[in-house]
Structure 1
Amino acid sequence: MVRKMLSAAFVAATLTTPVQAQDLGDIVGGVARQYLQQEQDRAAFAQAQSQNTIRGYQSYLQQFPSGLYAAEARQQISRLGGSVDTRDDPYAGGSNSAGLSRDQRVAVQRRLNALGYSTNGADGNFGPGTRRAIALWQRDRNYTQTGSLTTAQANEILRGTAVAGSSSSSAGASSGSAARAEDDIGLSRSQRAAIQAELTRRGYDTRGIDGVFGRGTRGAIASWQQANRMSATGYLTVQQADQLAR
């Protein structure tokens, strides 16, 4: 499907005169990004359908307020007896919170981008792109995918540490420590994609090579670590990342 879309974009671009190489790359890249966003939209709505709860559909709408299935999600919320108005984002500067400053919001976006979660810009505005990035970040850390940050999550992104007083188990604390250690490496999206490609080449299926470390990639990393007698955390150390990215 992706190949067909990219081929169509290539034909359309070459029929336009004149077309520079850079322009053609932008066109094809734009088609690929659009396809990826549509797939994320479908996946998010499928998750909401599997939950079939008011909160699940509201979570979808927070991530994709103008998504492909937004109208259907609102219908389902009404059917379940809920309101189509999602709760205020505690970081939108609304009545529920003093909110993050604009500089802090920009810092959150830049940090998410550095971790491989594209926000489609870093302007301090938490739009659909940032909501998707936050939801993916939450998913990879086993948080509820709301697309909105709690105070603890904002601190974790901005400072690389969780808020004190967590009641996590020792195993959860160990996993959180491994996740923060990987965050500190600062892998770019291209480096993450290279790691996914190498894991796939070695027989560990990451379920895609997109530069985003989702559940498939975490499972592949853990399997690779276990096979090489390492602690199977699903998160990479500096040495492991260097070994896979070269």
Structure 2
Amino acid sequence: MRQFLLATTLICTAAMAAAQDAALVVGISDYDDLSDVSRADRLVAAGAALREHGFSIKGGRNLDVDDLFSQARVFSDEAEDADRIVVALSGQFATDGALTWFMGQDAPAPQDFTVGQQGILVQTALNALAQASQGAVLLLGETEADTDYDTGLSAGIGPMEIPNGVTVVRGSPEAIEGLMRYALAVPGGDVIATARRTRGVDLSGFVPDSLTLIPGDAAAVPTERVTLPPELTAAASGSEETAWTAARAADTQNSYARYLDAYPQGANAANAVSRLAELRRNPPNPLRDAENALGLSSEARQAIQRDLQIMGFDTRGIDGIFGPGTRGAITGWQEQNGITANGFLTRDQIATLSAQATTRATQREAEAAAARAELERRDRAYWQETGVPGGESNLRAYLERFPDGLFAAEANERLGRARATAETNAAAAAREAQLSLDAISLQLVEARLSQLGLDPGRVDGQLDDDSRRAIRRYQRDRDLGATGYLDQATVSQMLVDAFR
């Protein structure tokens, strides 16, 4: 009898070793156009344990439509000869009320005529599962969103035609990940019992009293591998205080939502609602928390903002507050340096940024000094062309090119003097015109200036530049206003001089 049992065991073991088991495990959290699904991609890591137990695993994290179809085709071929088959899909689904599709990462908002090109048909997965001879399980991780796409389709999972022998488990991405990690992929793990202990999980199709896909002695497996985390089971424990303790320990949106589902009027319901609202407003962010743990002071944050500005990334202010402008600048700097661009800094990244900014600041200072030297050279050269010869037009040309140049003050001063002289001359010319001197009188003036040796030029009754220069000399010698124009005082003085 003992020999018969041993032989039977060896035969079964050999058959198990020879069996080809197939699994398709896909988790998509980060969608391009559809809403993201928190924790959905963690299903892939949990399902990796199936490989240790003879499964060929296809699928992956955040697969786009092309990769999703490619992996599904390979899985379909392998499933034809498989004894045990697992399909686990977690992410966004779309349904027309009769059929359901699991959407690829880059799928746009589903439309009724093209949805088949954007995701895999869940019914096709069910048909593949129907080929299994020793166990078939379909895990579906779905969100609670109720979204209509205005195309005859809506988000979610519709009715399914479940073949005989196929067990379907539906729940949140977190719950489905837990079932995979702590039951389905564990030797001796009971999928049915674990699902019944998990909050918010639905069983349909083939639902026996127990279902162990991977044979083994569950008692020999470490307890932590077969016991669900408290946040998945506490709400079903029957103890509100236990549920609240577990929710606080997990401190996640899901844990508080499960508590409220179980105890909407519970003693801690108000606290759960408050904490849930806070987490939704400001969800946990490990990257942000790690940056906050650095304890950066306002001065340190301002220094980082200055460094980013030096490196050419606009923080929209240097105020010590890391708002959208600073986060965008950090992201840009990280992308430029081949660092994962998440908008949050580590201590090493801060040190790298500081070193780069110091080097860049030194370079910029040298570049600025060279630019200043070149500007000064051109400034001096242009002054030689304009300022040295002088003249109002030259001075204005210099100031137009170098309004803050080395010689701007001198140019402005000289122009000011020229303007004052012009105004004085205009007033003097007006006074001269009021004298109404005829050509003969002007000839007498020029003759008198000539007699005094003041060189008025040709004595012709025309007061030219030489005449004006002689008049100024005469006025200066006699302490009269030296304008170069005749006025009553100048003419009177000439008459007095004529009789001496």
TM-score (norm 2): 0.17
Q: Which structure shows the higher helix fraction? A: 1
* Structure of larger gyration radius: 2
